[in-house]
Structure 1
Amino acid sequence: MASIEDQKILIVDDDVTALTLYETILRAAGYKNIIICNDGAEVELRLRDNDASLVLLDINLPGLSGIEVLEQITGTKTNLPVVMITGDEDLQTVINCMKKGAYDYITKPPAKTRLVTAVRKALEWRELNSELWAMGRRVLDRATLENPEAFSKLVTSSDSMLAVFQYVEAVAGTNRPVLIMGESGTGKELLARAIHESSGRQGAMVTVNAAGLDDALFSDTLFGHKKGAFTDAHTDRLGLVERAAGGTLFLDEIGDLAPASQVKLLRLLQEREYYQLGSDVARSTDARVIAATCVNLGKRIEDGRFRRDLFFRLMAHQVTLPPLRDRREDLMPLTKVLLLEAARELGRRIPRIPKELNSLLNLYDFPGNVRELHSLVFDALSRTSGNVLSLATFRKLVHGKNIPDGSEIDLGYDGLVELIGHFPTMKEFTDIVITAALEKAAGNQSLASRMLGVSQSTLSRRIARNDASFGGELPGDGKGD
């Protein structure tokens, strides 16, 4: 959604005094882009030359009447809200306008709050319609993202993750808040940045971690202060809301926000206004708010620790990032990307990934999600001394005890069930057996094939098939004795 200053409002009235009043009220409310028209016959031309967001239309116009102009607008511009201005409250006239497509009506002379509220709600309706249209288009074309580069740091081939990307891309350009939920380590801040980059906003994305901020620190951090507001306030200081002007304010760990701070955030979302500490002058903002949490806000509302009205404001758009255990198809791709990152950071050569790693990753639920996998990959590379990635870190994690690289795996029934956590599938069993045989044979495929009771060509084909599937290599070099 365009900022409040960019919203174009066309006011149509033949009364010059009324036009001046409407314009003055709306400019004071922050609407700067106002187009004036005093002839109904000129409206069509004005709309053709200007991409108006809203029309304020007097019902009693000379020549072409307001009703006729309304019919022209609604016949060609279905997503352009029209607020009718009438000199009386004749119910039949109002009903007739609404039937012909008017969004709302106000009576002359309008109260300041009534005019501003009618304009704000009409613009919100227009934005919502645009969002629904965009989402509908995305449903029809699920296979593409308009700006895939914005999501490049979120490595995935998961349908559930791609559905999240498509949804947030569809609503990225609006001004409404976005609430991102998900377990710790699932990538909520990366998604917030992807939303910001997809929004087309020219301002910066500013991040605030709400956890541990008391109300005074929250207010000073977000809203800033005036000189003398408190003992150490020697100069004026702008807050992070100001730094996020024209951009995005990302509030992480929103579930831990103090009750008093929740009230101030609610006002910021409702009124788009805030007060610096030590000032009684309201400042306006056009920053888009994105909030994230890893806690159950529903339970916090029940416990009285989170405001229900704030939750409803934040959830204008909401998404939940799935945990890593629910998108296991991303485990190996993520591991490879993280290994490249670790190698660059540690100044190391990229080692070969043993085939066993895929099985080990699939045996673990990753309560810390991608953040935990990131740490594990870095630790594994740090422990690697040769050209094959050490699996000691992953084995200890899965088996709960130290199992050095090269150790044999218990292939008895009890050992398999303990290793896998369930009765093994045929593929899991085959993968483990082949890996164990190759490790026992020190990578000699000829010896491993004799141990398994299959020909070397059969074993080679199986290894090649697994390499293509997992992108890694079994610990064999393909050679015989």
Structure 2
Amino acid sequence: METAPSVLIVGDYLDQLDQLAPAIEEELECRVTVVEGRESLTRAVREDLYDVVLLDHRLTGDDPSVCLVHEICTYDPELSVVVLTEMEDLERVLTYLKHGAADCVLKQSPRRVVEQLGRLISERSLRSQSKRLRRHLMQNHLENPYHFSQIVTADQRMVSLLMFIESVAWSSHPVLITGESGTGKDLMASAVHQASGRSGPFVIENVAGLDDTLFSDALFGHVRGAFTGAVQDRSGLVDRAAGGTLFLDEIGDLDIKSQIKLLRLLEHGEFFRLGSDAPRRTDVRFVVATNRNLDELMSTGRFRKDLFYRLSTHEIAVPPLRERQGDVRLLAHHFVARFCLDSGTRLLPLEEGFVATLERYPFPGNVRELQAVILHALAAAGGTPLRAQHLAGFHPSLDDLIGTHPGPVCRNEILFGDDLPSMRSVSDLLIDEALRRAGGNQSEAARMIGVTPSAISKRLKRLRTREAPE
């Protein structure tokens, strides 16, 4: 998580400098330390890390401020030094700049002082971020792989994206995630939060279909009496995600009026609850995602360009599954293992023909469709090893790949493998399915398959006896 910037103010006469500190803290949301004299400055710079030093030129001795500028910039070349002067003296300003000062500002212009500090802090943050990104990408590995445990991949393009996420996760800037439906943008958003180290929660909201009023109420909350039915104050998602991450999915479908409110929140870090004129501040980090073409939406006026530029500070384009074919095999084994574990059944093997067929299919629905295909195949396999024919009936394109063209599939059709199951196994499967459809009601299940309730009861008793420990 990105730490708040810090400013050190130093001089011999602190009355006027003390008045600057509150304005700097409020405007720039930074930590300000005020010290007096050369010794305090030297000690502070060596004992703590600062982004900017604001140095009053009125220090005792023979031109000591120039010497101090040189000393500070030599000790820490990355530290920005701004000298406060009382008059516009071009020769003196050039001397300060020659010795390493970032700028000289008239102390009679506090607004200018704050603006210049803000610019220098922003530049330092960008330099630090760029350095960190270059250093991290050169390592060619993840520092904390457990942050990405939900993402199954061996594709180098995906691994590079995860490394990029790890590099920018600490930042407080927004992250824009783009990609086709079903590519796992929600998992990427969760990974950004996990890698950020933020202590607050990960809060999710799908903004598609929310009109401006619903969006404002959902995000910002309301106060009692804001509208009919508002009988008490209610916090919004921004409050609930305080100190954490707010993930707004389907941002490309956001109402144009709501886009203005979101932009204001991103620019100023402030929002208003419905029915209130009291501004509230937030430190939430925004991650947004869309499967829409934002360039096209901006060209037709359906998405604001200024909002796009705010959101796309860090952009992650998730590739479709068809462009990471090496992951199809990995994901297929992963989903089979997970579904078998969830259902309490033994792990089923995947025959090579089954995996090879999957690898030839383009998966327009991406990872989400692969997950559905695996569920379909497991149901068709009935506890036998997964073969290519178990993919039949899911989609005509898959049927073409396995050389089958089934007509309308009967709901009661059973696909058998090479080894036929025993009559008892078939009977058990039939009873299991009847019980599932009947919601566990044995009498109803018996009626469905034309047996007596006692037959089902005997089967369940036999199963319990078989599973009982010796």
TM-score, normalised with respect to structure 1 = 0.79
- Local SS of the residue matching 1:183: coil
Could you say what secondary structure the match of 2:364 adopts? coil
What amino acid does structure 2 have at the position aligned with 1:133?
Answer: K
Does 2:260 correspond to 1:260?
A: no
Query: Per the alignment, in what secondary structure is the counterpart of residue 52 of structure 1?
Result: coil
Amino acid at match of 1:53: D
Counterparts of 2:78 and 2:362, CA distance in 1: 47
Partner residue of 1:123? 121
Cα distance in 1 for partners of 2:313, 2:91 equals 35
Instruction: Name the residue aligned to 1:107.
Output: 106
Partner AA of 1:88 in structure 2: M
1:286 aligns with one of 272, 283, 286: 283
User: CA shift at 1:383, angstroms?
Assistant: 2.3
Q: Which moved more, 1:345-354 or 1:206-215?
A: 345-354
Query: Is the counterpart of residue 10 in structure 1 residue 8 in structure 2?
Result: yes
TM-score by length of 2: 0.80
- State the Cα distance separating 1:387 from its structure 2 match: 2.4
3-state secondary structure, aligned to 1:313: helix
| Residue equivalent to 1:367 | 364
Partner SS for 1:29: helix
Please point out which of 330, 335, 340 is paired with 1:338.
Answer: 335
Residue 38 of structure 1 corresponds to 36
The CA deviation at 1:362 is 1.9
| Residue 97 to residue 383, structure 1, CA distance change in 2 (3 Å) | farther
Specify whether residues 383 and 120 from structure 1 end up closer, same or farther in structure 2 by C-alpha distance, changes over 3 A only: farther
1:141 equivalent in alignment to 2:139: yes
Q: What's the counterpart of residue 196 of structure 2?
A: 199
Alignment of 1:374-413 (within 5 A): 374-389=371-386, 391-392=388-389, 394-397=391-394, 399-400=396-397, 409=403
Deviation at 1:30, TM superposition (A): 6.6
Q: Which residue of 1 aligns with 2:422?
A: none
Q: Number of residues paired by the alignment?
A: 407
Partner Cα distance (2:402, 2:167) in 1: 51
Equivalent residue, structure 2, for 1:174: 171
Distance 1:271 1:389 in 2: 55
Q: Which residue of 2 aligns with 1:358?
A: 355
CA contact (8 A) 2:381 2:390 kept: no
CA RMSD, Structure 1 to Structure 2 (Å) = 2.5
Gaps of 5+ in 1: 416-440, 444-481
Aligned pair partner of 1:56 in 39, 49, 54: 54
Give 1:242 deviation, angstroms: 1.4
Pairwise CA distance, 1:259: 0.9
Q: In 2, distance between residues paired with 1:69 and 1:291?
A: 46
CA contact (8 A) 1:182 1:293 kept: yes
Establish whether residue 66 from structure 1 lines up as the match of residue 65 from structure 2.
yes
Check whether the contact 1:381–1:390 (CA below 8 A) recurs between aligned residues.
no
Contact 1:376/1:393 (8 A) holds in 2: no
- Could you tell me which of 307, 310, 335 is aligned with 2:307? 310
Cα deviation, residue 409, structure 1: 4.8
Question: 2:271 — aligned with what?
Answer: 274
1:21 aligns with 2:19: yes
**Counterpart AA for 1:354:** E
Q: Whole-Å Cα distance in 1 between the matches of residues 101 and 279 of structure 2?
A: 33
Letter in 2 for 1:160: R
Rate the CA distance shift 1:14–1:359 in 2: closer, same or farther, 3 A.
same
Change in CA separation of 1:14 and 1:135 when aligned onto 2, cut-off 3 Å: same
Deviation for aligned residue 1:397: 4.8
Offset at residue 93 of structure 1 (A): 4.0
The aligned residue for residue 156 of structure 1 is 153
For the structure 1 residues 342 and 76, does the alpha-carbon distance in structure 2 shift closer, same or farther, using more than 3 Å as the test?
A: same
Q: Which moved more, 1:163-172 or 1:391-400?
A: 391-400
The Cα offsets for residues 335-384 of structure 1, whole Å up to 9 and x where unpaired, read as: 11111121122332221111112221122111111111111112221222
8 Å CA contact 1:79, 1:129 repeated in 2: no
The yes-or-no answer on 1:240 pairing with 2:232 is no
Question: What is the rounded CA distance, in whole Å, between the counterparts of 1:391 and 1:350 in structure 2?
Answer: 17
3-state SS of 2:83 partner: strand
Q: CA deviation at 1:90?
A: 3.4
SS of corresponding position for 1:167: helix
Hey, what's the Cα distance between the residues in 2 that align with 1:192 and 1:2?
Answer: 17
